[in-house]
Structure 1
Amino acid sequence: MYPLIKLLTILPLLALGDARSSDNHTCALTKPIYSCENTTAIVDTCCTPTEGLVLVTQYWDTYTGLENEGSVLPKDSWTIHGLWPDRCDGSYGQYCDLSRQYDPVPSPNTTTGKPDGTPVPAWQGGDVITPLLKEYGKYDLLAFMQKFWKSQNSPDWTFWQHEFSKHATCFTTYDVGFNGSPDCYGTLYGNSTEASIIDFLDSVVKAQVQYPTYQWLEQAGIVPSNSTSYKINDIQDVLTNASGAEPYLGCTGLTRQVLTEVWYYTHSYGRPQDGFLKPIDQTTKSNCNATEPIWYYERTEGSEY
């Protein structure tokens, strides 16, 4: 059982992002707009993300690599990859607030992904998300994440902290006052960083449940199989019709024939925290083999429950 230690005592970097604002950014008083569809400058970036091409991303893994430690995959469900903020032109930032860097293995290890970018220091403080959720009584959120947000070959919390540090910190709607940005949480919360972490995790789950990829495919007769392959166009058509727009499909292998990932592109009506996501077609081309059979493999024995 984790002790209920205030996060401030275990996250020394918080002081860098602890700016306070008298503006509590009550977004209910701001007329929402769809991100990336505004014709004028965004008045309150806490209420509409400037990085408004919002991607709901999921994995189809067949094992975790830590089955002997009890880490297994959920039956009849794809798992969470993350919630990503791309800019409206399709470019993106990463590790935008190094005061909230809790990724033990930053990838890439600079903010630009290039050698001349600002280095991203590896977090060495261990798991901060699990004790934080327990401290605030978010046991249902934690249980959902432990089941559906799975890492491969590393503890789940390392993946959660990677996704928060790399992606959430680039959403303006989770800003906490770092480097002159607004504090979207203001004086309503004793600790804006803690609030931003929990807010993001809740947003990821809210987006995940809107896209039941496994069930959509299953209803069309497309189920995991080690003996039956599928046409990429059939998979694409099913998910396009079900979700309302064409998603990106990701495949692995030398010939890109193993289905492993899906990205649903959206615009956010107001804050992504509120979960009002408008489907739009992918802005990048799926990388799966367009002419050869696609394999949607069964989970490895003992890797699913």
Structure 2
Amino acid sequence: MKMQSNNVFVFIKLLTLLSLFVLSASQDFDFFYFVQQWPGSYCDSKQGCCYPSTGKPASDFGIHGLWPNRDDGSYPSNCDSSNPFDISKISDLTSRMQSEWPTLACPSNNGLAFWGHEWDKHGTCSESVLNQHSYFATALGLKNEINLLQALKSAGIQPNGQKYSLSSIESAIQDASGYTPGIECNNDSSGNSQLYQIYLCVDSSASGFIQCPVFPRGRCGSSIEFPTF
């Protein structure tokens, strides 16, 4: 009887270890980057931009993506080719996607290629916590939680083509959100550094913002432009 009990204990322990292994294998990331981009900076660059087929987007930050990431700065990508992007799964979100997650790639298009790329490369790596619909719905919800443009405007930082200190941009977002942002810059057609993308971090269950464990390389100077759009 004692040997039988020991065998049961060992079996249960093995099952527990196996379940932990399966869980860790299925969730190969530690947090998410939630990335928004300024359309004026995307367009004011050497490659330029094209407005989507639905028309010019609003003068506001647009979603770039929700990206699973690891604490060491690496990230998984293209995790499940058997579950490709399917627009029918997010048909109820399409109108919001067009306004809050617009494409600026050329030639002008309806955004499906952009959204499909984000799902195939990043979304498929979050399937342990988000299915295809919840992946996009979660990103839309996160955008509404923190109004980046209003946070900057409230601090006197306007998209008017003027230069602002990187530290003032970071402080404005931190004061409004409670979290330190990662800032990424690109260069305009004249080579000037400008505010391009803002990174905020989200916990591994995609349930809320957290302080970033690691920041992306921003390539920003101490003083950067905030171009019009």
Q: Judge same fold: TM > 0.5, yes or no.
A: yes
- Relative to structure 1, the CA distance from residue 238 to residue 42 in structure 2 (aligned partners, 3 Å threshold; closer, same or farther) is farther
- What residue in structure 1 maps to residue 83 of structure 2? 100
Q: Is this contact kept in 2: 1:266–1:277, CA < 8 A?
A: yes
- Runs of 5+ unmatched residues, structure 1: 1-40, 103-127, 176-195, 300-305
The answer to whether residue 117 in structure 2 is matched with residue 162 in structure 1 is yes
What is the rounded CA distance, in whole Å, between the counterparts of 2:21 and 2:208 in structure 1? 19
- What residue in structure 2 maps to residue 225 of structure 1? 160
Give the structure with the larger strand fraction.
Answer: 2
1:42 Cα deviation from its structure 2 partner: 5.2
Q: What letter corresponds to residue 244 of structure 1 in structure 2? A: G
1:172 Cα deviation from its structure 2 partner: 4.4
What is the rounded CA distance, in whole Å, between the counterparts of 1:235 and 1:161 in structure 2? 31
- What residue in structure 2 maps to residue 10 of structure 1? none
Q: Is this contact kept in 1: 2:73–2:214, CA < 8 A?
A: no
Q: How does 1:30-179 map to 2 (within 5 A)?
A: 45=23, 49-62=27-40, 63=43, 65-66=50-51, 69-75=53-59, 77-102=60-85, 128-129=86-87, 131-134=88-91, 138=92, 141-152=93-104, 153=106, 154-174=109-129
1:223 Cα deviation from its structure 2 partner: 1.0
**162-171 vs 281-290, which deviates more?**
281-290
Deviations 1:135-177 (A, max 9, x none): xxx2xx22211101011124311111110110011124247xx
CA RMSD in angstroms comes to 2.6
- What residue in structure 2 maps to residue 245 of structure 1? 179
- Runs of 5+ unmatched residues, structure 2: 1-18, 44-48
Q: What letter corresponds to residue 57 of structure 1 in structure 2? A: V
What is the rounded CA distance, in whole Å, between the counterparts of 1:100 and 1:256 in structure 2? 41
What is the rounded CA distance, in whole Å, between the counterparts of 1:170 and 1:133 in structure 2? 18
- Relative to structure 1, the CA distance from residue 246 to residue 163 in structure 2 (aligned partners, 3 Å threshold; closer, same or farther) is same
Aligned identity (percent) is 23
1:43 Cα deviation from its structure 2 partner: 7.6
Scaled by the length of structure 2, the TM-score of the pair is 0.76
Task: Find the partner of 1:257 among 161, 186, 193.
Answer: 193
What is the rounded CA distance, in whole Å, between the counterparts of 1:281 and 1:255 in structure 2? 31
Q: What letter corresponds to residue 235 of structure 1 in structure 2? A: I
- What residue in structure 2 maps to residue 22 of structure 1? none
Q: Is this contact kept in 1: 2:37–2:197, CA < 8 A?
A: yes
